[in-house]
Amino acid sequence: MNVHKLKKELVRYARKMAQEGLTIGASGNISARCGRKFYIKTAGKSFENLKERDFVSLDIDNPDIKGLKVMPSCEYKLHAACYSSRPDIKAIFHIHPFCATIAFSKGVGSKPVTMEFAAYVAATITSVEFVPPGSHRLAQALKAACSDNDCIIMKRHGIIALGKTMQDAYVKNLIIEREAKAQIIGKLLQIKGAGFSRREMAMLVDAV
C-alpha cells in the first residue's frame, strides 16, 4: 500500500471510530506501518476532522521527533515499541471507549458474554496497570504485553488493538466495546450464567 492510500485509509477508519462513539475529540491515536516507518495521528487533532496531512511519519527503530514542525501524538513511543516487537502488525488503534474503560478497569473477566469476543478476542487480550500517558514506562509495559496479545486494556485509560490490517484493528476495538456494554447490561439485569466457558470458547475459536 502506498503512503497516499495508507493515509486515506487511516482517515476513513478514524472517522468510522468517531461515528461509532469509540472515542471523543482528540482522545486516542491511530497509526499504520509502511516498511520501517509508521504514520501516526498528529497531536490534538480530532478523529472526526482528520485529513491525510494530519499524520506524522516516524522511524520504528528511532522515532526521533526533534525538529518536527508538527508533533505526533504523545503516545508515539508505545506505537514504535509495539511495531518493533511485532513485525506482523500493520496497524495500531488506541482509543478511549466509555464502556470498556469503565467495565475493564479491574481487568478482563474470565467469562465473555458475547460470542464475537469469545471467538476473536478473549484468547489474545490482557491488561496493564495505569501508567502516565506518553511515558517511556507505558511504552515498555505495552511492548511486553503485546508480545503474546493483540488487545490490551490500559486500566483507567483506554484500549489498544493491534491488527494485521486496519480493518482487523478496527473490528477488535468494536468487539471489545460491545463486550463491555454486554457485561454492564448483564450486571444491571442480574443475569447469571450467561458467559462462555473455556471449553465453549475453544470450540468457537476452532469454528472461525
CATH value at residue 64: 3.40.225.10
In whole angstroms, give the CA distance from residue 207 to residue 202.
9
- State pLDDT tens for residues 131-172: 999 899 999 999 999 999 999 999 999 999 999 999 999 999
Mean pLDDT for all residues in the chain: 90
Q: What are the backbone angles phi and psi of residue 71, rounded to the nearest 5°? A: -90, 140
pTM for the model: 0.90
CA 113 to CA 122: how far, in whole Å?
10
Q: For the chain, how many structural domains are there in total?
A: 1
β pairing state of 55-59 and 91-95: unpaired
Residues 6+ apart with CB under 8 A from 101: 156, 157, 158, 159
- Confidence bin at 31 (pLDDT 50/70/90): very high
Q: Which domain holds residue 106?
A: 3-207
Please write the tens of the pLDDT for every residue from 100-134: 999 888 777 667 888 899 889 988 999 999 999 98
Residue 125, by phi and psi: left (phi above 0), alpha (psi -120 to 50) or beta? beta
